[in-house]
Amino acid sequence: MQKYRWQILIALLGLILIAGILFLILRDGEQEISTPQPVSGGAFIEAEIGSCIRLNPLLDFNNQVDRDIDALLFSGLLKFNSSAIPQPDLAEGWAVSADSTLYTFYLRENALWHDGQPVTADDVIFTYSKFMDEDYSGPSYLKDFWSDITITKIDTNIVQFGLPEPFAPFLDYLSIGLLPDHLLRGVSASDLIDHPFNLNPIGTGPYKFDHFLIEENEIQGISLVVNEDYYSEVPFLQRFEFYFFDNTEGAVNAVLTGEAQGLMGIELEYLQEILDAPSLNLHSAPVPSLYMVLFNLDHPKKTFLNEKVVRQAMMLALNRQHMIDEVFQGQAVPANSLFLDGTWAAMDPPSGWEFDPDEANRLLDAEEWDLPAGAAQGTEEYVRGKEDQTLTFTLIHADDSQSQQIAEMIQLEWASIGIRIELNALSSEEMVSDYLEPRTYQAALVNYNFNNSPDPDPYPFWHDAELDTGQNYSNFSDRNISIWLEQARTTPDVLRRSALYKRFLYRFNDLLPGLPLFFPVESYVVDTTVQGITIGPLFDPSYRFHAVQEWYLVARNTIPEAVDSSAEEIIEP
């Protein structure tokens, strides 16, 4: 034993000596640590599934490829950060009147169009007036919304919007990219559809249109060049190109072989192949697409659906993580509330509705929803009842494969606690027109898609004013919740709205009129050579470019000032 102690002592003395030498070297400046700093240079190639149709932010709602490209070419008055909080963009700031009906925006004086002309209030008025045109062919909800808004030019760089009544989600509508009045003045909304501008766009974004990539007289892609006169931080990447592919397989092969460096929206069948590729990084973020079980709380026959304890038991019996793993291969996150985690309105702490079938059974037992004597689990007789009712009903769901799988798993899990449901697969259109709108359904598995809507406003779905003709398909009525939702919808103060939504969520979590399940996750595949990428909640797939100015391919190892500054090395990650 003695000789081993001497060896340990010698080793310790050696480590102390080495540490002392390193300390002296660093203290005396004989060795400095260099830090990679990104520099301008390089080109990024994105694989896109589909093709470009019109590069115009007023006409890109039905084509994701156009929306992705427009996100780099155009800017709105404001933008949203990863917490869904509005931030200045073309407007350097804004003010709201005391009655919350007037919004005054102050444009940046250094904001220029790609042709060098300044951005003015005329551009704002031209852009948003197109939504008011009778012949505007975009989404009808935009036309309806803007028909009640007035726009006034206060000065060259000041514009004011007048609302008929307070409406806090108004800022949601102001992230749409502006169009140049000096190039399109007098062009109607209908003429804009086939205008040459759409194939030779002039915007204000961090990148400028350069040329289309054409092979055999067909557009195969598009090349953008950095906007050196960008009013904000100029991107490091000098060129941004999109290659168009007809299908996912071709796009996946492009990133696997290095032909492209990025691809958004990986179908689950290709996920493992991507994960196994050492040259690729996978950036994932939740999307505002909430899967949820709704109940018709006012159904004349299935009155037990209006019993809170029954709904609580059904929630406890759902193994949401198992559904996520089986149906989405892990590419989803449990819904802790009705809002995306990480956004300003989300509830913290989480809901607490964890999988607990034993507690679900205890709740139903306590309410005397009894099982037939001797009934065996898994048999048709294993159904709880009380008086003249049994816990049986029909769950309608969309006829896509994922909804079908989820519904079947719900069916099995509720059967395990003595609740039997029948499944009815329908088209999305049938679900809405034949069952949800007329309130003839009993329960429904729905997917609330809030794409391109960072504002979380839940008023249309849970306020009692929406009971008869609105989207409150559950027939849910709670005066406290309605008051809070009204107040939150009419104050532009984010902190005040957040406090109101917290009250709403806690009460919702107690009453549980619907069962929040999960938010799917979208994945963005990027080559490991590309650095500086951060992805937050994807309110639209194009939000992956929200911090494109920070992406880089080329970096310089910079030596601290104490050492000769000529000692620099250009490296590529």
The answer to whether the CB of 540 falls within 8 A of the CB of 524 is no
Q: Identify the CA nearest to 235 among candidates 42, 62, 64.
A: 42
Please give the backbone phi and psi of residue 335, each rounded to the nearest 5 degrees, phi first: -85, 105
The answer to whether the CB of 235 falls within 8 A of the CB of 548 is yes
Listed in sequence order, the DSSP H helices in 181-232 are 181-184, 189-192
Q: Identify the CA nearest to 167 among candidates 232, 261, 102, 95.
A: 102
Per-residue pLDDT for 360 more than 80?
yes
Q: What is the pLDDT of residues 376-431, one digit of tens each?
A: 998 999 999 999 899 999 999 999 999 999 999 999 999 999 999 999 999 999 99
∠ CA 541-212-280, nearest 5°, is: 45
Q: In this predicted structure, what is the pLDDT of residue 32?
A: 52
In a 3-state reduction of DSSP, which class is residue 307? Answer: coil
Measured distance CA(279)–CA(255) in Å, rounded: 9
String of DSSP letters for 110-141: T-B-TTSPBP-HHHHHHHHHGGGSTT--S-HH
Q: In this predicted structure, what is the pLDDT of residue 560?
A: 53
Q: In this predicted structure, what is the pLDDT of residue 3?
A: 40
Q: In this predicted structure, what is the pLDDT of residue 7?
A: 41
Mean pLDDT of 286-295: 96
Q: In this predicted structure, what is the pLDDT of residue 22?
A: 46
More confident residue, 244 or 8: 244
Q: What is the pLDDT of residues 263-277, one digit of tens each?
A: 998 889 999 999 999
Going by C-beta distance under 8 Å and a sequence separation of 6 or more, which residues neighbour residue 452? 539, 540
Tell me whether strands 150-155 and 158-162 are parallel, antiparallel or unpaired.
Answer: antiparallel
The answer to whether the CB of 384 falls within 8 A of the CB of 371 is yes
pLDDT band for 351, please (50, 70, 90 cuts). low
Q: In this predicted structure, what is the pLDDT of residue 250?
A: 96
Mean pLDDT of 304-312: 97
Per-residue pLDDT for 1 more than 70?
no
The answer to whether the CB of 345 falls within 8 A of the CB of 497 is yes
The answer to whether the CB of 250 falls within 8 A of the CB of 257 is no
Residues in the chain: 573
Per-chain mean pLDDT for the chain: 91
Mean pLDDT of 349-372: 91
Mean pLDDT of 238-242: 98
What are 481's two structure tokens? 């919740």
Within a 10 A sphere around the Cβ of 88, how many other Cβ atoms? Answer: 15
Whether this model's pTM surpasses 0.75 = yes
Q: Render the burial of 386-406: b for 16+ CB within 10 Å, e for the rest.
A: eeeebbebebbbbeeebbbeb
How far out from the chain centre does Cα 104 lie?
27
Q: In this predicted structure, what is the pLDDT of residue 317?
A: 98
Proportion of the chain above pLDDT 90, given as a percent: 82
Q: What is the pLDDT of residues 9-62, one digit of tens each?
A: 334 444 444 444 444 444 444 445 556 789 999 999 999 999 999 999 999 999
Out of 25-29, 284-288, 368-372, which region has the weakest mean confidence (pLDDT)?
Answer: 25-29
In a 3-state reduction of DSSP, which class is residue 452? Answer: coil
pLDDT band for 561, please (50, 70, 90 cuts). low
pLDDT band for 6, please (50, 70, 90 cuts). very low
Per-residue pLDDT for 372 more than 70?
yes
Q: In this predicted structure, what is the pLDDT of residue 569?
A: 46
Torsion (CA) 400, 405, 411, 414 in degrees, nearest 10: -120
Q: What is the pLDDT of residues 506-534, one digit of tens each?
A: 999 999 999 999 999 999 999 999 999 99
Q: What is the pLDDT of residues 191-218, one digit of tens each?
A: 999 999 999 999 999 999 999 999 988 9
Q: What is the pLDDT of residues 129-159, one digit of tens each?
A: 999 998 998 888 889 999 999 999 999 999 9
Longest dimension (CA), the chain: 96
What are 100's two structure tokens? 């919350």
Measured distance CA(192)–CA(85) in Å, rounded: 32
The answer to whether the CB of 418 falls within 8 A of the CB of 371 is yes
The answer to whether the CB of 257 falls within 8 A of the CB of 435 is no
Q: In this predicted structure, what is the pLDDT of residue 518?
A: 96
